[in-house]
Chain A
Amino acid sequence: MKKITVTSVPGFDEWREASRACLAHGIRPEHVIWQNAHSVQDDLFGHEEQTQATSNFQIKHTIPKSALALFKYALCHSDTNRFALCYRVLWRIIYENKNLIQLKTDEDIMQLYALAKAVKRDAYKMSAFLRFRELNNEGNEHFVAWYEPEHYSLEIKLDFFQTRFKNMRWSILTPYRAAHWDTETLFLEDNPDPSVVPDDDRIEKYWLTYYANIFNPARIKTNAMLNQMPKKYWKNMPETSLIDDMIKQSGARAHKMIIDGNKH
């Protein structure tokens, strides 16, 4: 048994190094135990040596690009089993079937796609639902956001935020890590302090006004809304505080439209 402890999150680089080392030694997936630093616990086979996750072996295996892309997403999932799953798929691609990744009815592949899909969705929702607030900073615009992704989605979306808000100073804080951008360089900080996020923003009232008025009370489809924007996202989206009242008053507002129409 070989035990590998990944100490960072999401842990892509460490996983890759360790996987290379394991492949070089020909260690089969069922002989590796993967764990996160914060989830280390004594296991039944606790008698074997701890190996550092590094390697000098340079063995070239050809892995399809599509597989690497999938690993990248899947490894940002919060599920601790992600390391073992990815290594197992890697092993099977090399020794069993180089087209394995196409076999979308294979159990491992289905699981891999499921992890990647969950991360993609989570990351997409982050780019959609994250809200910046302006920090009052003596004329220097600085935008700050607090967001709680389900997975390690910050790393997936860094490119997006850097591209879109390139000439803007911003900070995105998540429970595990913050990213600070000063228009030129990116600075990452682990376990940031959420209290630096402003409670309000001078533009938010206009956003709320817009949200309340762009909605058509004659067409209530709460389920369609909840499918796309489940309640777990609501707490950091200021406009969601209006939803209950909007739904409650919609009947009366739609009715009024018809009454007004009948007046003539």
Chain B
Amino acid sequence: MHDKLIQKLEILSDAAKYDASCASGSAGKRQAGKTDKAGIGSLTGGSGICHSFTPDGRCVSLLKILMTNYCIYDCHYCINRVSSNVRRARFSVKETVDLTLNFYKRNYIEGLFLSSGIVGSPDLTMESMVRIAKSLRLDHGFKGYIHLKTIPNASPELQAEAGLYADRLSINVEMPTQPSLNKYAPEKDLGAIHGAMNTLKDKITEHKVDKAHSGKRPPRFAPGGQSTQMIIGADDSNDKVILGTSVKLYSEQKLRRVYYSAFSPIPDASQVLPLKPAPLIREHRLYQADWLLRFYGFTLDEIVHDDMLDMDHDPKLAWALRNRHVFPIDLNKADKMLLLRVPGLGARTVQKILSIRRYTKLNWIDLTKMRLPLKKLKPFISVGDYSPDIHLLDSNNFELQFKQPKQIELFGA
């Protein structure tokens, strides 16, 4: 490899860092066949391996790069828009393939996450991206993870071909509403984005249904599904609008994951943009709310009381504070859905409680053994030998005790 490559890599990985997604999960298991004499790689099932962590706390799981940062579009929030003065570079198909394989063989990565600026036309760009994925799969028997960020305006045929080689496809909606798109990404159209998502959704379900009914296996198609990303705090959409968009994407387009990326200032920024970064805590609260919507049985109206999420308390605690009449909840009797609503109990802890109480009654000592966040739990629960002081829940300054120090910890309970 030539050292010009270092420069390209600098430019094209730097340009990819604004994308929040790093996950490489949920595409099932896969490996080279027993008799395969060539080929490399596997998918372990589950959520993929984090091979390193950078000082921004993010996991490095994939080689996340742009094929090129040349772009004919002029989206204001994007560092690569045509009117920006950044250095430009472009990887060839072979360079991208070699880099992916060389990284993979050294156990640096789980696979490739490829996106791109638009060069020439959406179809030409998409075609090169598909060639990279195809070459990895067919020429090199690559069984690792491939995520392609598809180009919304590329032809349906190319989208369909991409799904044959990629584990996951994504199209960024970027902004939750069409007016915001008009303002910040004039070439992007929410209708076209949803249209492309629907095409992919149909292909993905078609593959799954056929497998179940006719017994004949159609070619695998993006087994990891679709994901998307929204930029938070560049436009003035409130949390209810943002989460409302997510709920629709999950239910109508069957997305696997919506990522939220707090707007952070980019070099050579457009004047339309705010100058300050959006607070990270807002992004964090959106992820927490998103989680509650998908896995904890909460509805949008329950979670977002006003138009914005409560920044001082996590959304579940905020809900509990607004609904004190539901508590205390008896951990020995309450059903699963109710247990999931207790602040301080995660899905795994709830599972643990359900399995333990089949054999024995839970007492306070058991909670200490399970290392639960007792201070947080205390007012909201009762167990065999403990029930909370009722006045505690009713007191006016009750919520003050949950005030968090300013610093946030992303991986806390």
Q: Is B409 a contact of A223 with CB atoms below 8 Å?
A: yes
Q: Is B53 a contact of A166 with CB atoms below 8 Å?
A: no
Q: Is B108 a contact of A209 with CB atoms below 8 Å?
A: no
Q: Is A128 a contact of B49 with CB atoms below 8 Å?
A: yes
Interface-located stretch among B99-107, B187-195, B220-228, B322-330 = B99-107
The reply to whether the CB of A15 lies closer than 8 angstroms to some CB of chain B is no
Residues of B within 8 A of A128 (CB): 49-52
Cα–Cα, bound, A104→B103 (Å): 41
**Nearest CB on B from A181, distance (A):** 13
The reply to whether the CB of A24 lies closer than 8 angstroms to some CB of chain B is no
Q: Is B40 a contact of A132 with CB atoms below 8 Å?
A: no
Q: Is B14 a contact of A213 with CB atoms below 8 Å?
A: yes
Interface-located stretch among B162-170, B246-254, B262-270, B333-341 = B262-270
Q: Is A260 a contact of B359 with CB atoms below 8 Å?
A: no
- Given the known inter-chain contacts A166-B36, A229-B52, please indicate yes or no for A143 contacting B105, CB distance below 8 A: yes
Number of interface residues of B (CB under 8 A): 68
Q: Give A235-251 as 1s and 0s: 1 = Cβ < 8 Å from B's Cβ atoms.
A: 00101000100110010
> Could you tell me which residues of chain A, from 223 to 263, have a CB within 8 Å of some CB in chain B?
223-225, 227-229, 237, 239, 243, 246-247, 250, 256-258, 260-263
Cα–Cα, bound, A202→B2 (Å): 11
The reply to whether the CB of A214 lies closer than 8 angstroms to some CB of chain B is yes
Q: Is B266 a contact of A225 with CB atoms below 8 Å?
A: no
Q: Is A214 a contact of B57 with CB atoms below 8 Å?
A: no
Task: Output the residue of A105, A143, A239, A258 with the most chain B CB within 10 A.
Answer: A105
Residues of A within 8 A of B57 (CB): 219, 221-225, 228
Contact among A99, A220, A229, A262 for B275, CB-based, below 8 A: A262
Q: Is B370 a contact of A105 with CB atoms below 8 Å?
A: yes
Cα–Cα, bound, A260→B84 (Å): 11
Q: Is A209 a contact of B10 with CB atoms below 8 Å?
A: yes
Q: Is B268 a contact of A145 with CB atoms below 8 Å?
A: no
> Could you tell me which residues of chain B, from 338 to 387, have a CB within 8 Å of some CB in chain A?
352, 355-356, 358-360, 365-366, 369-370
Cα–Cα, bound, A206→B364 (Å): 54
- Given the known inter-chain contacts A128-B50, A261-B275, please indicate yes or no for A216 contacting B106, CB distance below 8 A: no
> Could you tell me which residues of chain B, from 255 to 283, have a CB within 8 Å of some CB in chain A?
264-271, 273, 275-277, 280
Interface-located stretch among A6-14, A48-56, A86-94, A157-165 = A157-165
The reply to whether the CB of B31 lies closer than 8 angstroms to some CB of chain A is yes
Q: Is B42 a contact of A164 with CB atoms below 8 Å?
A: yes
> Could you tell me which residues of chain A, from 166 to 220, have a CB within 8 Å of some CB in chain B?
166-168, 201-207, 209-211, 213-220
Q: Is B54 a contact of A104 with CB atoms below 8 Å?
A: no
Q: Is A167 a contact of B267 with CB atoms below 8 Å?
A: no
**Nearest CB on A from B390, distance (A):** 27
Residues of B within 8 A of A229 (CB): 52-53
The reply to whether the CB of B26 lies closer than 8 angstroms to some CB of chain A is no
The reply to whether the CB of A67 lies closer than 8 angstroms to some CB of chain B is no
> Could you tell me which residues of chain B, from 91 to 119, have a CB within 8 Å of some CB in chain A?
99, 102-103, 105-108
> Could you tell me which residues of chain A, from 90 to 109, have a CB within 8 Å of some CB in chain B?
99, 102-105
The reply to whether the CB of A127 lies closer than 8 angstroms to some CB of chain B is yes
Contact among A99, A105, A129 for B51, CB-based, below 8 A: A129
Q: Is B39 a contact of A167 with CB atoms below 8 Å?
A: yes
- 15 residue pairs bridging A and B, Cβ less than 8 Å apart: A102-B359, A103-B360, A105-B366, A127-B107, A128-B52, A141-B105, A166-B40, A167-B37, A203-B103, A206-B5, A209-B6, A216-B54, A220-B55, A229-B52, A261-B269
Q: Other CB < 8 Å A-B pairs besides A105-B356, A105-B369, A166-B36, 17 of them?
A: A103-B360, A104-B356, A127-B49, A129-B52, A206-B9, A207-B108, A210-B13, A211-B54, A214-B13, A214-B14, A214-B16, A217-B56, A221-B57, A223-B57, A225-B53, A256-B267, A260-B269
